Amino acid sequence: MRNLYAIYRKEMRHYFVSPIAYVCIGFFLLVSAYFFNFFLSAVIQQSFQMEMQSMQFGMPPQFDVPGQVMRAFLGLLSTLILFITPFLTMGVFAEERKRGTMELLMTSPISEIQIVLGKFLASLSLFALMLLPTASYVIYMYLHSDPIPPWRVLLAGYAGILLLGGSLLALGTFISSLTENQLIAAVLTFVAFLFLWVLDLGHTSEGGLGSVLQYLSASRHYDDFARGIIDTSGLIYYLSFMVLFVFLTVRSIDSMRWRRA
């Protein structure tokens, strides 16, 4: 546990002494704030139009502004992290291998699982640090809504984003352990993410291969969370995804010993 913390601490420091954390967080907050503003004004405008229409036709106004904004915003966040997480994980192992510091880690009395978990938890923490400020936008909107929408939707949405992000980080960490080149790691990670994203496209039919692919698609489970539903199958999907790739990373690191260095 102490070793795991030592690795975690070193990784967090590394993120914040290199420009990577600042660039990623800055970019993420800038783009997400811009789009949140855009969604909010677009949806409010749309709601005015709807209200006018409903007054003309004498129907009661029914328009869920916070819900609409929230859904669009969570959709945007999931797309954004697709582009950002490869940069958070690309160097995790590739850089250690290139600098030769892997030799230090692997000849120290710490286990591979401690190394991998320490690094994975650090990238997850950075991701959470990047994500949390965006919740303030939503909270601000919620507090100015009447009636205040259920907080459950907000919590489910952010839980979904964290789970999705964690899965992508685990996959990116694994890919980073396969190469010495950060750029290759980032590109491969991005390609793998895209593949997971579009896995179920063109297989909308129920049953057979279609439903298997739908279950495997990372984006499909996220949609449930974005609608405020914490779905057990989605929870299990993401958690097992993370466990699988953390495990594969441990195996990959271990296998380095057996390969020609």
Partner 1 sequence: MIEVQDLTKAYGAVTAVDHVSFTVNKGEILGFLGPNGAGKTTTMRILTGYMPATSGTAKIAGFDVFGDSMEVRRHIGYLPETPPVYPDMAVEDYLDFVARIKNVPAEKRAARVTEAMRKTNLEDRGAELIKRLSRGYKQRVGIAQALVHDPDVIILDEPTVGLDPKQIIEVRNLIKGLAGDHTIILSTHILPEVSMTCDRVVIINKGKIAAVDTPQNLTSQLKGGQKIRVEVQAPEKALRDALAQVPGTTRLEAEQLPAGGHLVAIVETAQGADIRSAIAAKIVQNGWPLFELRGVSLSLEEIFLELTTDDAAHAQASSN
Residue type, 145: S
Write out the binding residues for partner 1, residues 13-42 only, by CB under 8 A.
13-14, 17-18
Q: Which of 64, 99, 205, 211 binds partner 1 (CB under 8 A)?
A: 99
Whole-angstrom Cα distance, residue 14 to residue 226? Answer: 32
Residue among 144 and 260 whose Cβ is closer to partner 1: 260
Q: Can you state the percent helix, strand and coil of the chain, rounding each to 5?
A: 80, 0, 20
Site for partner 1 contains 1 (CB under 8 A): no
In the complex, what is the shortest distance from the CB of residue 115 to partner 1, in angstroms, rounded to a whole number? Answer: 9
Give yes or no for a contact between 160 and 224, defined as CB atoms under 8 angstroms apart: yes
150 prior amide bond cis, ω within 30: no
Which H/E stretch holds residue 73? Answer: helix 65-89
Whole-angstrom Cα distance, residue 41 to residue 5? Answer: 44
In the complex, what is the shortest distance from the CB of residue 20 to partner 1, in angstroms, rounded to a whole number? Answer: 11
Site for partner 1 contains 109 (CB under 8 A): yes
In the complex, what is the shortest distance from the CB of residue 107 to partner 1, in angstroms, rounded to a whole number? Answer: 4
Size, binding site for partner 1 by CB under 8 A: 27
DSSP assignment letter at 212: H
Region binding partner 1 by CB under 8 A among candidate stretches 136-144, 152-160, 219-227, 253-261: 253-261
State whether residue 32 is helix, strand or coil.
helix
Residue among 60 and 100 whose Cβ is closer to partner 1: 100
Q: Where on the chain is the footprint of partner 1 (CB under 8 A)?
A: 2-3, 6-7, 9-10, 13-14, 17-18, 99-111, 257-258, 260-261
